[in-house]
Amino acid sequence: MQEQRYLPALRAHIDKLLGNGWVIVQRDPLTLRHGRRTCLVMHGMLISEGALWNQPDAFLPQPGAAALEPPLAAVVG
């Protein structure tokens, strides 16, 4: 049987977020929340005002330190 779901990779990612404690707070547009963090799905993209990983400040510059950029490997995968 052929897969009929729309954007299966995005659906799998959302399922993972839900398994990690995120909750659906609105259906149109689909809005997810975990504590104070919120993201929504629009036009097939997961959109957030900040980082979605566990340490949202991990890549922010520390006081007195040069601006940090995440290593390419961390961004790519």
Q: In which residue ranges of the chain is pLDDT below 70?
A: 1, 3, 51-77
SS3 45: strand
Tell whether 57 is covered by a domain.
no
Tell whether 13 is covered by a domain.
yes
42 with 29: CB under 8 angstroms?
Answer: yes
Determine if the pTM surpasses 0.75. Answer: no
Tell whether 21 is covered by a domain.
yes
Tell whether 32 is covered by a domain.
yes
Number of domains in the chain: 1
Which pLDDT score, from 0 to 100, does residue 6 have?
80
pLDDT digits (tens, 9 = 90+) for 20-36: 999 999 999 999 999 98
Which pLDDT score, from 0 to 100, does residue 49 have?
77
Which domain range does residue 25 map to? Answer: 1-48
Which pLDDT score, from 0 to 100, does residue 66 have?
47
Tell whether 67 is covered by a domain.
no
